[in-house]
Amino acid sequence: MRQLIPQHLIGFLSAAAIFVVASLGCHNPAVSSLPPSAISPPGTAAPPLPKGDVYADETVPTSETPIETGDTLEVVIHRGAGEEKFSSIVRENGKISVGFMEVDVGGVTAAVAEDRVQDAAAPYMRQPRVQVLLKKKVLKVKRVFVLGDVKKPGMVPMPRHMTVLQAIAAADMYQETALMEEVRVIRGGDLARPHILMADLARAFTYGDMSRNVALEENDIVFVPREHLGDASEAGKKIMPIIQAAITPFYPAFIVPALLK
């Protein structure tokens, strides 16, 4: 079927394809086209990203969760057959108000807070028994950012001990065109010289070698580059409509798909 296309038309289409590829600028997005001498002037220092309060797997308070400013405590004091209930927000000085009593509970667990409230109430009540329920405020969760050739780029909530592989999995895994040998981890700090780590996940998938599966820190940026073949595939998707438009005037529309196979 290829012989049906005149030689001059093939030459024209080839030239058009080369021109379009050049104009699209196919390149690996992880490789800079600038020479090493092209050093950017120092930029304006940006404020560091805010830190989260807890890891994503710690959003439910446990017996070990410390009480912090802004937390809400439900306090129940049992005495005899009766009980009194109080609800108090932890103030900036770490104290709560339980009736007329001021109790310092900042930084301790609910169990320790129970003992402190009970000690404060003992001079006024006979054998008080105290229960403290910690209700955390709306929490800021630690996070990392996954960008590049993944299916769902963006912010990812960060559990404790998160690795690059786990972050990519949280982004719904990588595309088929991803270059897994050269995953970058960009870590904050000096804007002029950020700390960049390399994670070779291809070794993990091929040999089970997890030594390059980098452990992440809060606000890390994970970038998954695309291999050159992936860039060519994307360029091909843009070139084919142009070639089809060029062939259509010479051949019936129903023949064009066969010519381009």
Query: Domain residue spans in the chain?
Result: 2-24+230-255, 60-135, 143-226
- Which pLDDT score is estimated for 126? 86
Amino acid identity, position 255: I
Domains 60-135 and 143-226 share a fold: no
The CATH code of the domain at 143-226 is 3.10.560.10
- CATH architecture for the domain at 60-135: 2-Layer Sandwich (3.30)
The helix (run of H) or strand (run of E) holding residue 87 is strand 82-89
Consecutive 10-residue averages of pLDDT for the chain (261 residues): 52 57 55 74 77 84 87 91 91 93 94 95 91 84 94 94 95 92 85 83 89 92 84 63 62 53 57
> How buried is residue 38: exposed, middle or buried, by Cβ count under 10 Å (0-12/13-18/19+)?
exposed
The helix (run of H) or strand (run of E) holding residue 77 is strand 72-79
Amino acid identity, position 44: T
C-alpha Rg value of the chain to the nearest Å = 31
Residue 187 φ/ψ, nearest 5 degrees: -110, 140
Structure tokens at 190: 């000096």
Amino acid identity, position 179: L
- Which pLDDT score is estimated for 98? 94
Confidence (pTM): 0.60
Which residue bears the tokens 């930029």? 43
- Which pLDDT score is estimated for 32? 73
Could you tell me the sign of the dihedral formed by the alpha carbons of 152, 158, 160, 163, in that order?
A: positive
